[in-house]
A and B are shown apart, each in its own frame.
Chain A
Amino acid sequence: MTTALTDLTIAGALDGLAKGEFTAVELTEAHLRAMEAARGLNAFITETPDLALERARASDSRRRGGQIGSMEGIPIGMKDLFCTEGVRTTAASHILDGFTPPYESTVSANLIKAGAVMLGKTNLDEFAMGSANITSHHGPVVSPWRRRSDPGVDLVPGGSSGGSAAAVAARLAMAATGTDTGGSIRQPASFCGIVGIKPTYGRCSRWGVVAFASSLDQAGPMTRTVRDAAIMLGAMAGHDPKDSTSAPIAVPDFTKALTGEVRGLRIGVPREYRPEGLAPEIAALWDQGIDWLRQAGAVPVEITLPHTRHALATYYIVAPAEASSNLARYDGVRFGLRVEGKTLDELYRKTRGEGFGKEVRRRILIGTYVLSAGYYDAYYAKAQKLRSLIARDFREAFEKVDVILTPTAPSAAFGLGEKTDNPITMYLNDVFTIPTSLAGLPGLSLPAGLSADGLPLGLQLIGRPFDEETVLNVAGVMESAAGFTARPARVEA
């Protein structure tokens, strides 16, 4: 065999499986070996090798019977924010100690139905709150990438879906699920040199996904190619009556959208995404991206999204407010950690005091404050008005353009332990991804090049609501132009 099984794309593996070149069991075993060899990355919180082999055997037997799902036999990582029946689910928090869901989230159930094989539950920032995967109760994830100038320094994979991103980049999983509230799929995809798409709000069911900020949370695929993202998004998406915000619209065959034809398509280039002080290599990469699309026949159009600069502040009111409400359920009574107290109130306080990490505690307290009596209008109501204005900016822009191109993140991956002195510094990582989340629009990050120090840099494509097809198609054209073939330093051959 010329290509290692762990180096295949989903599309390539489906082909090989169909031709009988290898079995789902062989494919799964190869990935389980890679996972074991790369435990130092801490990409998985829980490995499920026995379950994976059982599902791989079942997949091989289904295939023999001619029953072939859209991801039949493909080994994937599952962000440990998706509830999985009978498999411990932690949200990377101490407060969910010992929790084993008695049900399966809709998205993970859809993937099982499509034939995908879960290898394990990937690490993340606690309750998906973070941009570096350093807030996990189960320890930080280490990126498989290394700086050329300083290969001894461990880098962050981005967050919150850092375990998923690291696992896919390091060839431990062919793909992985992520969730994105303000950039948690796109920013780690950018840091790890992979493709990640946050679909339109409502495209994937949130049922069974541990909630962070319900009006922003969306699940999406993290893969090594655009085609793989199209295949996996199709398997994850779909209307679900159990999530009242799930959109009752049909899921197209996203792979059919990858025509490679973008002639005449209008590409929005928002001037507000070029703030003073933007790193020159990020600006240059963006210009390069615009040029690729121009050469393919698309038409760049300068646009304005005037409220962009207020998006981060808006987000840091809305998201903590929703989090403080959502996380009220962790009370030490019905599931998870309990720290005893003499009174019920003391039990709540001690359980939550010990169970939540510092970043989660910070956000719950901010959320509690902005929702408290006397402050609601000044903070939360004001932020929801800003959100209307940010969404309107995009609506008006999409009257003039078909898709928007921006950088994904303001920098390449940084070192573990950097940017931790002040919460705001960390929050700035998501400055380019948050506006899309606030407006509920689809956003995709694709690896477009390397920094001077040899680290991946991503570009982001933003689409109209439920127009993931255009986003994916344009991403496919850019992917061909970029020819991104760099591999992380830490991949076991």
Chain B
Amino acid sequence: MSLDKTTVTAIAHLARIEVPEDELDHLASELSGILDFVEQLAEVDTDGVEPMTSVAAMVLPRRADAVTDGGYPDKILANAPEADEGFFLVPKVVE
């Protein structure tokens, strides 16, 4: 599987990662190399094999749907790059 620059740009957009134009070619060839490598799995017959969904053989535990934590907005906002009056601040999203 060979990825071209356009595809890499599209993936980078999906991942919300800005990639400088002059790095696209190199990145495309690196990613293609990795995809070529994992391509080998196609040769394994996996008909009738269930995909692994849980590493340990155990049932996911359940708990009561109750609020057990919270009530400290200052602590939560302490690491925010920009915050005001109990909110995270971001650029305007609605014109």
* A residues lining the B interface (CB < 8 Å): 98-100, 102, 200-202, 215-216, 241, 244-245, 247-248, 307, 310, 312-314, 316-317, 324, 331-338, 340-350, 352-354, 356, 361-362, 364-366, 368-369, 372, 378-379, 381-389, 391, 422-424, 439-440, 465
Known: A334-B88, A366-B31. 6 other contacts (CB 8 A): A350-B18, A352-B18, A366-B34, A382-B41, A387-B52, A465-B57
CB atoms of A349 and B17 under 8 A apart: yes
CB atoms of B34 and A388 under 8 A apart: no
Instruction: Contacts A313-B37, A344-B93, A365-B11 given; indicate if A248 touches B18 (C-beta within 8 A).
Output: no
CB atoms of A365 and B33 under 8 A apart: no
- Inter-chain contacts of A369 with B (CB < 8 A): 3, 11, 31, 35
- Inter-chain contacts of B33 with A (CB < 8 A): 422-424
Nearest CB of chain A from residue B10's CB, rounded to whole Å = 9
* B residues lining the A interface (CB < 8 Å): 3, 8, 11-20, 27, 30-31, 33-35, 37-42, 44, 46, 49-53, 55-58, 60-61, 63, 75-76, 78-82, 88, 90-91, 93
Q: Which one of A310, A333, A368, A388 lies within 8 Å of B11 (CB-CB)?
A: A368
Q: Which one of A310, A317, A353, A362 lies within 8 Å of B44 (CB-CB)?
A: A310
- Inter-chain contacts of A391 with B (CB < 8 A): 52
The docked-state distance in angstroms from the alpha carbon of A202 to that of B35 is: 30
Q: Which one of A341, A354, A387 lies within 8 Å of B91 (CB-CB)?
A: A341
- Inter-chain contacts of B78 with A (CB < 8 A): 100, 102
- Could you jot down 26 A-B contacts, CB within 8 Å? A102-B78, A200-B56, A307-B44, A310-B40, A313-B37, A313-B38, A313-B41, A316-B37, A317-B41, A331-B16, A338-B81, A342-B91, A349-B13, A349-B16, A349-B17, A352-B17, A353-B18, A361-B17, A362-B30, A366-B31, A366-B34, A383-B41, A388-B49, A388-B50, A389-B46, A465-B56
CB atoms of B81 and A245 under 8 A apart: no
The docked-state distance in angstroms from the alpha carbon of A356 to that of B60 is: 33
CB atoms of A365 and B55 under 8 A apart: no
- Inter-chain contacts of B75 with A (CB < 8 A): 102
CB atoms of A313 and B40 under 8 A apart: yes
Instruction: Contacts A352-B15, A382-B41 given; indicate if A335 touches B80 (C-beta within 8 A).
Output: yes
Instruction: Contacts A245-B56, A362-B27, A362-B30 given; indicate if A345 touches B16 (C-beta within 8 A).
Output: yes
- Inter-chain contacts of B51 with A (CB < 8 A): 381, 384-385, 387-388
CB atoms of B44 and A365 under 8 A apart: no
Give the residue name and chain of the B residue nearest to A348 (CB): B16
CB atoms of A364 and B15 under 8 A apart: yes
Nearest CB of chain A from residue B37's CB, rounded to whole Å = 5
Q: Which one of B20, B46, B53, B82 lies within 8 Å of A382 (CB-CB)?
A: B46
Q: Which one of A244, A332, A384 lies within 8 Å of B53 (CB-CB)?
A: A384
Nearest CB of chain A from residue B28's CB, rounded to whole Å = 10
Give the residue name and chain of the A residue nearest to B23 (CB): A358
CB atoms of B79 and A388 under 8 A apart: no
Q: Which one of B14, B50, B91 lies within 8 Å of A368 (CB-CB)?
A: B14
Instruction: Contacts A102-B75, A389-B46 given; indicate if A365 touches B53 (C-beta within 8 A).
Output: no
- Inter-chain contacts of A345 with B (CB < 8 A): 16
CB atoms of A379 and B38 under 8 A apart: yes
The docked-state distance in angstroms from the alpha carbon of A11 to that of B12 is: 50
- Inter-chain contacts of A343 with B (CB < 8 A): 91, 93
- Inter-chain contacts of A361 with B (CB < 8 A): 17, 19
- Inter-chain contacts of B50 with A (CB < 8 A): 385, 388
CB atoms of A201 and B44 under 8 A apart: no
CB atoms of A310 and B41 under 8 A apart: yes
Nearest CB of chain A from residue B65's CB, rounded to whole Å = 14
CB atoms of B31 and A385 under 8 A apart: no
- Inter-chain contacts of A317 with B (CB < 8 A): 38, 41
Nearest CB of chain A from residue B3's CB, rounded to whole Å = 8
- B30, B52, B76 — most chain A CB neighbours (10 Å): B52
- Inter-chain contacts of A334 with B (CB < 8 A): 76, 79-80, 88
Give the residue name and chain of the A residue nearest to B8 (CB): A365
Q: Which one of B20, B27, B56 lies within 8 Å of A202 (CB-CB)?
A: B56
CB atoms of B16 and A316 under 8 A apart: no
CB atoms of A386 and B81 under 8 A apart: no
Q: Which one of B18, B20, B31, B91 lies within 8 Å of A365 (CB-CB)?
A: B31
Instruction: Contacts A334-B88, A379-B38 given; indicate if A99 touches B79 (C-beta within 8 A).
Output: yes
- Inter-chain contacts of A352 with B (CB < 8 A): 15-18
- Inter-chain contacts of B39 with A (CB < 8 A): 313
CB atoms of A366 and B35 under 8 A apart: yes
CB atoms of A244 and B61 under 8 A apart: yes
- Inter-chain contacts of A313 with B (CB < 8 A): 37-41
- Inter-chain contacts of B15 with A (CB < 8 A): 324, 352, 364-365, 368
The 10 closest A-B pairs by CB, nearest first: A353-B18, A384-B51, A338-B81, A335-B79, A440-B55, A385-B46, A349-B18, A387-B52, A348-B16, A368-B15
